[in-house]
Amino acid sequence: MDDACVVVKTNPFSPTLAADIRAKVFYAAPGISEVVVDAAGGKLTLTMRQPLPAMAQVAIEDLVRRMATRTIVAEKVLESYSGGGMQTTDPHPEAIARGLLWLAGPGTCVLGDTLSRLFEYFDAWFTRLAGQCQAESFRFPTLIPSQLLARVDYFKSFPHSLSLVYHLPENIPAIERFSTTACCAEDGKLNVSPADLAGGEYLLSPAVCFHYYQVLAGKKLDRLHVATAIGKSFRYESGNMRGLERLWDFSMREIIFVGREDDVLAKRQFTMEALSRFTRELGLAGLMEKANDPFFVGNFSLQASFQSALDLKYELRLDLPYQRGTLAVGSFNYHQAFFGKAFDITLADGAPVRTACTAFGVERWLAAVLAQYGCDPVRWPEPLRLAVTG
């Protein structure tokens, strides 16, 4: 069927909530391909690939009502960066035509040689920054235990983005039945009965830092500990998944700080200042601002307000001119004593440690370069051009 537009009326709400509400609406029903938000008019316009169920419309109205119970203060901009990019159109079609990029499916991509070299350039810079923080290097698994995510309340805060892992059971008849009957339906989904699956003990990891807190669990620390790792992270984002900007399967480099409050906050500040200089040197347009995490509806208003009030999260956001918006490419987070308490990590005096982390979504940096400077490396800032051409 052709796409159809559906208008959902709500009470007017704060424009500061528009982006978060738009992101959550995609989870209300399958087949939503676009959402246009009119906060002042209390109207959501949905582009649908299939009819919107009546119960989904009620759920959307309830979603807006619950998220709007608190007004989130507009994010405070700490710094702005100007750039020399002249690109104004979506770079993805040209990137695909040039062989820079292949979109393998919703939320997944393949990087060609040029973008792989650019990826390595950025990650090498982030790794040097970690070295300046005296970080130890780690390699963490892609799988993460369900019990670990439960320990950090991830199921309550971000249930919508989870990627569950299942496998065939230790059952020969079930395995043989699968080998002879399994196939993919027209929609690409594997045709298998849930009764023939086992698992649930693991998920695909949504972040890198959780593994490090597990390494330190139950330990007493007498100094600041700093770790760095790059790993694959997985966050299912429904209709929000678009090109390189928002992937289901993406690469995250983190620098993790564990110790006393003054020490971890000083390291976080050091990385923020370093990233500001780096962004200016590259001529990338954007801003540094106070931010909050994309909590699910039930926890959104309270936790987002809490983060904002206590300056717990900052983001480096780079311009996407063709979208007339920005994209978070780095985050600088302070968790207070949350992980120290959750994993029983203490200081020498028995008090729970404080933690912070600086995280970079590497593919998002590539997205920002293409969005601002286009797909021809000749037009890129000199450090980036040299990184891919030698």
Q: Are 150 and 182 found together in one domain?
A: no
Whether residue 72 lies inside any domain: the answer is no
Residue 325 domain flag: yes
Instruction: Please check whether residue 150 lies inside any domain of the structure.
Output: yes
Q: For residues 151 and 114, state if they share a domain.
A: yes
Q: State which of 176, 202, 228 marks the end of a domain.
A: 202
Confidence of residue 14 (pLDDT cuts 50, 70, 90): confident
User: How does pLDDT run across 97-144, given as a tens digit for each residue?
Assistant: 999 999 988 899 999 999 999 999 999 999 999 999 999 999 999 999
Last residue of a domain, one of 202, 231, 257: 202
Answer yes or no: are the C-beta atoms of 214 and 148 closer than 8 Å.
yes
Whole-number pLDDT of residue 70? 62
Task: Let me know whether 136 and 190 are in one domain.
Answer: no
In the structure, what pLDDT confidence band is assigned to residue 310 with cuts at 50, 70 and 90?
low
Do both 193 and 211 map to the same domain? Answer: no
Residues 13 and 43 in one domain: yes
- The pLDDT assigned to 71 comes to 57
- Shared domain for 362 and 282, answered yes or no, is yes
Amino acid residing at 20? D
- The pLDDT tens digits for 201-235 are 999 999 999 999 999 999 999 999 999 999 999 99
Residue 368's pLDDT is 98
The residue written with tokens 């931010």 in the block is 291
Query: How confident is the prediction for the chain on average, in pLDDT?
Result: 91
Other beta carbons within 10 Å of 240: 20
| pLDDT at residue 87, rounded to an integer | 86
Residue 376 lies in a domain: yes
Last residue of a domain, one of 143, 173, 202: 202
Is 132 in the same domain as 196? no
214 and 188 belong to one structural domain: no
Number of domains in the chain: 3
Same domain, 198 and 210: no
β-pairing verdict for 164-167 and 77-81: unpaired
Looking at 91-95, 174-178, 181-185, which range is the least confident one?
Answer: 181-185
Q: Is the pLDDT of residue 82 over 70?
A: yes
Residue 295 predicted with pLDDT over 70? no
Question: Would residue 61 count as lying in a domain?
Answer: yes
Question: pLDDT tens digits for 198-208?
Answer: 999 999 999 99
For the chain, what is the radius of gyration of the CA atoms? Answer: 22
**Domain of 56: which CATH number?**
3.30.70.100
| Residue 197 sits in the same domain as residue 212 | no
**CATH number of the CATH domain containing 257:** 3.30.930.10
Q: How many CB atoms lie within 10 A of CB 379?
A: 15
- Are residues 149 and 251 part of one domain? yes
Check residue 266 and give its pLDDT: 98
What is the amino acid identity at position 15?
P
Give the range of the structural domain holding residue 196, as residue numbers without chain letter: 164-202
Residues sharing a CB contact under 8 Å with residue 328, sequence separation 6 or more, in sequence order: 291, 315, 316, 317, 361, 364
Residue 307 reports pLDDT greater than 50: no
Say if 30 falls within a structural domain.
yes
Say what the pTM is: 0.89
- 154 & 172 share domain: no
Helix orientation angle between 382-389 and 261-282, rounded to the nearest 10 degrees: 80
